[in-house]
């Protein structure tokens, strides 16, 4: 089986690296195409990937085409790919918003998987949700899930609505975590810590809290109660967040990403 990755950016290259370690593929069975010269140079330095500049040189040989370009590049890309496609090939798209029906119409082929990964895939800690068109067989889906899980975990969802929803939770989610980290680091700096100490204090607090959560059956609320003593410092912080409706604001932000994913699907 041969996989072609189109778009060697943050996610495309990460997936190419992940898939190259997958038992479903041999390293040399990954082709990568990117239009940027800088990316082509970068791919050229990785001896086990075959880099390409032209669709005609790689699309015909691909069984699975992994599309990792920005949603606004999809239309032109699909138009250019169409002459080299047939119904034996599977497209896996990780583009936010771009719908299965839209991709079927644009490419003229039926086997489409729509997936939503996230950036921790870079360190093998990603979570990718996916859904496929009915034309993708069970055995093909087994391979697809294996490839998607090569960068962390993969879950199959029941409809595209949940791909847009997971964009709002896990796809964009790492940025929400970084937002919180940034604010805490700025507070630490304002309290007089050095940049390095601020970084260690915040980073280890996140790692430790997530590890506690992962190693237990307790909800985040229960863990909050365990940190907060009555009349103590944590209660002061949590009350301040509640007074400022921080929880509602975080939910609003997640829905803003969800709604934007739906909107992207209507325009691409």
Ligand X SMILES: NC(=O)C1=CN([C@@H]2O[C@H](COP(=O)(O)OP(=O)(O)OC[C@H]3O[C@@H](n4cnc5c(N)ncnc54)[C@H](OP(=O)(O)O)[C@@H]3O)[C@@H](O)[C@H]2O)C=CC1
Q: Map residue 259 onto helix, strand or coil.
A: helix
Please count the residues of this chain forming the interface with ligand A1CAB, following the rule CB under 6 A.
Answer: 4
> Which two structure tokens, joined as six digits, stand for 153?
């975990």
User: Which is closer to ligand X, CB of 11 or CB of 188?
Assistant: 11
Tell me: is residue 11 an annotated ligand-binding position: yes
Nearest to 68 by CA among 105, 111, 24, 121: 121
Residue with token string 């038992």: 23
Tell me: is residue 71 an annotated ligand-binding position: yes
Shortest Å, Cβ 177 to ligand A1CAB? 13
214: Cα separation from own chain's centroid:
21
Instruction: Decide if residue 117 touches ligand X (CB under 6 A).
Output: yes
Instruction: Decide if residue 62 touches ligand X (CB under 6 A).
Output: no
Q: How many degrees, rounded to 5, is the angle at CA 89 between CA 86 and CA 91?
A: 115
> Which two structure tokens, joined as six digits, stand for 22?
């997958």
Q: Map residue 116 onto helix, strand or coil.
A: strand
Whether the CB-CB separation of 159 and 131 falls below 8 Å is answered with yes
Tell me: is residue 6 an annotated ligand-binding position: yes
* Binding site partner of 35, from ligand X, ligand A1CAB, none, Cβ cut-off 5-8 A by kind: ligand X
Whether the CB-CB separation of 170 and 116 falls below 8 Å is answered with yes
Shortest Å, Cβ 259 to ligand A1CAB? 12
249: Cα separation from own chain's centroid:
23
Question: Site residues for ligand X, window 231-260 (CB under 6 A)?
Answer: none
Nearest to 114 by CA among 134, 88, 87: 134
Instruction: Decide if residue 119 touches ligand X (CB under 6 A).
Output: yes
Instruction: Decide if residue 171 touches ligand A1CAB (CB under 6 A).
Output: yes
* Binding site partner of 92, from ligand X, ligand A1CAB, none, Cβ cut-off 5-8 A by kind: none
Please count the residues of this chain forming the interface with ligand X, following the rule CB under 6 A.
Answer: 26
* Binding site partner of 4, from ligand X, ligand A1CAB, none, Cβ cut-off 5-8 A by kind: none
Question: 24 burial class (0-12, 13-18, 19+ CB within 10 angstroms)?
Answer: middle
The dihedral of CA 112, 113, 116, 120: what is its sign?
negative
Instruction: Decide if residue 96 touches ligand A1CAB (CB under 6 A).
Output: yes
- The DSSP element (H or E) to which 148 belongs, if any, is helix 138-148
Phi-psi region of 65 (alpha: psi -120 to 50; beta: other; left: phi over 0): beta
User: Which is closer to ligand X, CB of 96 or CB of 109?
Assistant: 96
Shortest Å, Cβ 174 to ligand A1CAB? 8
Shortest Å, Cβ 95 to ligand A1CAB? 8
Instruction: Decide if residue 14 touches ligand A1CAB (CB under 6 A).
Output: no
Instruction: Decide if residue 3 touches ligand X (CB under 6 A).
Output: no
Tell me: is residue 109 an annotated ligand-binding position: no
In this chain, which of 20, 166, 167, 198 binds ligand A1CAB, going by CB under 6 A?
167
Residues of each annotated binding site for NADP(+) = 6-11, 68-71
Residue list, annotated binding site: 6-11, 68-71
Residues engaged in binding ligand A1CAB (CB under 6 A): 96, 167, 171-172
């Amino acid at each position: 089986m041969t996989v072609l990755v189109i778009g060697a950016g943050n996610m495309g290259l990460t997936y190419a690296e992940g898939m190259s370690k997958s038992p479903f593929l041999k390293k040399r069975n990954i082709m990568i195409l990117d239009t940027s010269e800088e990316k082509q140079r970068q791919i050229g330095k990785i001896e086990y990937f075959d880099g390409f500049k032209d669709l005609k040189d790689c699309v015909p040989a691909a069984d699975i085409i992994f599309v990792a370009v920005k949603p606004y590049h999809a239309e032109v890309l699909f138009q250019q790919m169409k002459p080299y496609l047939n119904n034996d090939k599977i497209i896996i798209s990780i583009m936010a918003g771009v719908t299965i029906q839209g991709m079927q119409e644009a490419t003229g082929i039926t086997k489409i998987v729509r997936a939503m990964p996230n950036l921790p895939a870079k360190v093998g800690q990603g979570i990718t949700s996916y859904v496929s068109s009915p034309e993708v067989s069970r055995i093909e889906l087994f391979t697809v899930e294996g490839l998607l899980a090569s960068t962390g975990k993969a879950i199959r969802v029941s409809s595209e609505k949940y791909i847009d929803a997971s964009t709002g939770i896990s796809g964009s989610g790492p940025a929400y975590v970084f937002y919180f980290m940034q604010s805490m680091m700025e507070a630490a700096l304002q309290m007089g810590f050095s940049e390095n100490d601020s970084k260690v204090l915040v980073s280890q607090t996140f790692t430790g809290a997530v590890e506690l959560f992962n190693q237990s059956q307790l909800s985040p609320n229960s863990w909050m109660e365990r940190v907060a003593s009555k009349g103590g410092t944590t209660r002061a912080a949590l009350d301040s967040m509640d007074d400022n409706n921080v929880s509602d604001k975080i939910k609003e932000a997640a829905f803003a990403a969800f709604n934007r994913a739906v909107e992207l699907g209507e325009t691409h």
